[in-house]
Amino acid sequence: MRSLTLLFYLSLFVSSSFAQNRVGTISGVVTDPDRSVVSGAAVQAKNGATGTTYKTSSSATGDYSLAQLPAGTYEVSAAVPGLRQYVKKDIVVGAGQTLRMDIRLEDRQSLGTLGEDRALFASFETPHSVPSGPTPRTPDGKPDLSGVWWSARPADPESAEQPALLPWAEAIAKERAENFGKDSPTARCLPGLSLGLMDDLQTKLV
């Protein structure tokens, strides 16, 4: 009986050791362009063969660790509001390997001045409160569209099926694609809005 018990625990140990040797780890430190550590950065590794994504976030000291990664090839990415997303492909993780991979985030294309700095880009990715109450109007009764317009932020997961454009919106999208967007409102610094939302917005403003 004692021999059977010993054999049982020995088999568990061997199985556990074998399983651990089939996975690897990616770890490192996330820093910004000034080489200061970045906490709360979303770091993930996507397995190229299975599509499985493993996620973590950097600690207060900028450290991150993606453990228990099946041996294979990965795409590693990191993101934090206000900085350019980091993406590196073809990262090979071997069985039983701990791969050191420090991540340095870069600034987006900006002037680096007040109003054109990291805070501006961070604001694009930060949820904003939706105005409540009646639609503001100009003295002549038309909807008042003055003020700060924030870009639309996707609320559905990437895997969700996107709604189809209405025929009129699809025609406009095709026209703008053919003329390289010269008729797009954003080309004249006017509020930009997804064509899929314009019909609903018109209904609410009237």
pLDDT at 154: 59
Average pLDDT over residues 132-139: 88
Q: Is pLDDT above 60 for 18? A: no
Q: Is pLDDT above 80 for 11? A: no
Q: Is pLDDT above 90 for 195? A: no
Q: Distance (Å, rounded) from C-alpha 203 to C-alpha 195?
A: 14
- Phi first, then psi, for residue 4 (nearest 5°) are -65, -40
Q: Distance (Å, rounded) from C-alpha 20 to C-alpha 44?
A: 20
- pLDDT tens digit sequence for 61-88: 999 999 999 999 999 999 998 888 999 9
pLDDT at 177: 78
Q: Distance (Å, rounded) from C-alpha 52 to C-alpha 23?
A: 14
Beta bridge partners of 3: none
Domains of the chain (ranges plus CATH)? 2-107 (2.60.40.1120), 131-205 (no CATH)
Q: Distance (Å, rounded) from C-alpha 156 to C-alpha 142?
A: 32
pLDDT at 189: 63
Q: Please, how many CA atoms are within 13 Å of residue 80, restricted to the half-sphere of its CB?
A: 23
pLDDT at 118: 79
- pLDDT tens digit sequence for 152-178: 665 555 545 667 778 888 888 888 778
- Contact criterion met (CB below 8 Å) for 64 and 41: yes
Give percent of the chain with pLDDT exceeding 90.
40
Is 0.85 surpassed by the pTM of this model?
Answer: no
Band (128; pLDDT cuts 50, 70, 90): confident
- Angle, CA 10 vertex, CA 6 and CA 12 arms, to 5°: 120
